[in-house]
């Protein structure tokens, strides 16, 4: 277990430890859309990069800051211009540790031309919209198992002082276009 982490769980004596999912996924179907919910044990950014590379470019990134330790304004921050795959990967690689080891945010990466979207949330889950059958096959090929995905309760979100510099740096990475948070963004 690392010194700091993003998402934790409490045992019967209310002792907190890092929580690991078991590399499973499930399909959720709704009246107007369907999505895959993926619960990776680790390497979430590597998985997102693998998923997004099959999306039709160009891409957009939406960084959703839901808790700030650095007095930044909470909100949805959209990259101001379309991105190619290399630019998406550079961004994800630069902030990999921040995304995987801190719960103050969500990150969305989508195709501008299609409804393909991947969302990595503060519960360490990845939501995939679009190309459901292709992504089910990809996940199975990567060794993920179809099965229920449950967020444990009670659980915790960590906002680690070790990542404060990343928060400052990401807020200055682009001249973000800011939008207010939506109800579903809250921690």
Domain ranges of the chain: 7-183
Q: Which residues pair with 120 in a beta bridge?
A: 107, 126
Q: Please report where in the chains the tokens 């399909």 appear, as a residue.
A: 27
pLDDT in tens, 29-38: 999 999 999 9
User: Average pLDDT in the 145-170 region?
Assistant: 97
Asked whether the CA dihedral 186, 47, 79, 8 is positive or negative, the reply is positive
What pLDDT does residue 2 have? 57
Tell me the pLDDT tens digit for each residue of 104-143: 999 999 999 999 999 999 999 999 999 999 999 999 999 9
Residue 87 has a CB neighbour count (10 Å cut-off) of 16
Band of pLDDT at residue 3, cut at 50, 70 and 90: confident
- Check residue 1 and give its pLDDT: 46
Percent of the chain scored above 90 by pLDDT?
A: 95
Look up the pTM and report it. Answer: 0.96
Please state, in angstroms and as integers, the Cα–Cα distance from residue 5 to each residue in 50, 101, 109, 150, 159, following that order.
Answer: 23, 5, 22, 19, 8
Q: Where are the beta strands (DSSP E) in 40-81?
A: 59-65, 75-78
Q: For residues 47-69, give the mean pLDDT.
A: 98
């Amino acid at each position: 277990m690392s010194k700091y982490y993003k998402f934790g769980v409490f045992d019967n004596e209310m002792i907190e430890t890092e929580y690991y999912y078991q590399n499973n996924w499930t399909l959720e179907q709704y009246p107007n859309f369907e999505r895959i919910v993926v619960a990776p044990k680790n390497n979430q950014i590597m998985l997102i990069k693998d998923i997004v590379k099959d999306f039709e470019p160009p891409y957009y990134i939406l960084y959703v800051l839901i808790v700030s330790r650095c007095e930044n304004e909470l909100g949805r921050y959209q990259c101001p211009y379309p991105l190619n795959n290399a630019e998406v990967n550079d961004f994800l690689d630069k902030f990999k540790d921040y995304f995987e080891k801190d719960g103050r945010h969500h990150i969305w990466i989508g195709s501008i031309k299609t409804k393909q979207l991947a969302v990595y949330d503060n519960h360490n889950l990845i939501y995939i919209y679009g190309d459901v059958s292709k992504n089910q096959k990809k996940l199975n090929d990567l060794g993920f198992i179809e099965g229920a995905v449950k967020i444990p309760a009670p659980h915790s979100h960590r906002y680690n002082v070790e990542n404060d510099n990343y928060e400052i740096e990401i807020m200055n990475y682009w001249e973000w276009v800011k939008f207010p948070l939506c109800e579903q963004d809250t921690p």
